[in-house]
Amino acid sequence: MNKSLSQAQNRALESVRGVGRAGIGAAEDARGLRWLFMRTLYGTIAGKCERAMLVRQLYHIGNKSLIFVAITLGFLGMVLVFQTCLQVNQVTGDLSQIGSDWVRILVHEFGPTLTAMMMATRVGAGIAAELGSMTVTEQVDALRMCGVDPVDYLVVPRFIAHILMSIVITTFAVVVAMAVGTMTAKLSFHVNPRTFMDIEKVQSGDVILGLLKCVCYGAAIPVVSSYCGLSARGGSQGVGAATTRAVIGSSFAVLLLDFVLSGLGYRFLQNNTGG
């Protein structure tokens, strides 16, 4: 009986230690992310970014994500519009307001957030894998020995490029989703495209909120992914773990920022409309 009690105590103690290690690790990651973000922001403001590297990252982040995001948002827009029209048609049959509400939600919520989630999986994983490989092969240490700051050389160009491309890609994806949604409503439910594409409900606050989300998501994804890549250890296995952490961390950052910004945006829009 004493032996069983001792084993139970050991398991409980090990569980407590595991929770403690996880808490310490989370605190260290938060501190590291804060430092990297501040250092990246300083490098961006100070203009410590090579133009050639920036152009290269604009191509890798933007051009190679454009078709992927556009196709994804197009299919999601088609499905959401079809399901919404189907349900409303069965209840009231009045589809005149579907388009205006859909466009408004697409501008300030679905467009930026879904685009960011797609880019977190493709761009975030790519950044973490690339920087993780450079870290475990000691290329980052070689940059330091040559007097080159890895943050200025590796992170800042990706940070600037991702913010710019987030705005461009989100705008393109929103246009694609609107076009596909309009086509779906026309072909499936015979909704007049002019009625569906009514943008009177879209306020300036919706556009501002959508752009703010693009900027915040565009800043969070490269910082989280770069931190995971630069903290990779243990060869190829460590690079794989860093890539997984980058996708999970970037996606969680997008969801957390979406919750905060949507709450603040709702209060802002409510005050502007006098609600």
Q: Which amino acid is at 268?
A: F
Structure confidence at residue 87 (pLDDT): 84
The whole-number pLDDT of residue 156 equals 94
Q: What is the model's pLDDT at position 17?
A: 62
Contact 265, 205 (CB under 8 A): yes
Q: For residue 275, what pLDDT is reported?
A: 45
Residue 127: per-residue pLDDT:
93
Look-up of token digits 């493709």 = 122
Which run of H or of E encompasses 242?
A: helix 235-273
Tokens for 126?
Answer: 């790519």
**CA 196 – CA 185 distance, rounded (Å):** 8
CA distance 21 to 27: 10
Residue 94, both tokens: 């009045």
- C-alpha to C-alpha distance for 108 and 45, rounded to whole angstroms: 27
Answer whether 61's CB lies under 8 Å from 125's CB: no
pTM of the model: 0.86
Using CA atoms, how far residue 98 sits from 75, 190, 203, 215, in Å, is: 18, 13, 16, 28
CA atoms of 207 and 67, how far apart (whole Å): 23
Going by C-alpha positions, the residue among 179, 175, 180, 184 that lies closest to residue 210 is 175
Query: What pLDDT tens digit does each residue of the chain (275 aa) get?
Result: 555 656 665 666 666 666 666 667 677 878 888 999 999 999 999 888 888 888 999 988 888 788 888 888 889 888 988 888 888 877 777 777 777 888 888 888 889 999 999 999 989 999 999 999 998 988 998 988 888 889 999 999 999 999 999 999 999 999 999 899 889 888 888 888 888 887 777 888 888 999 999 999 999 999 999 999 998 888 788 898 999 999 999 999 999 999 999 888 777 765 655 44
Residue 167: the pLDDT is 94
Q: How many CA atoms lie within 13 A of 259 on its CB side?
A: 5
Tokens of 207: 């556009």
The 3-state DSSP class for residue 164 equals: helix
pLDDT of residue 11: 66
Token pair of 194 as six digits: 């002019």
So what's the pLDDT on residue 8? 60
Identity of the amino acid at 136: V
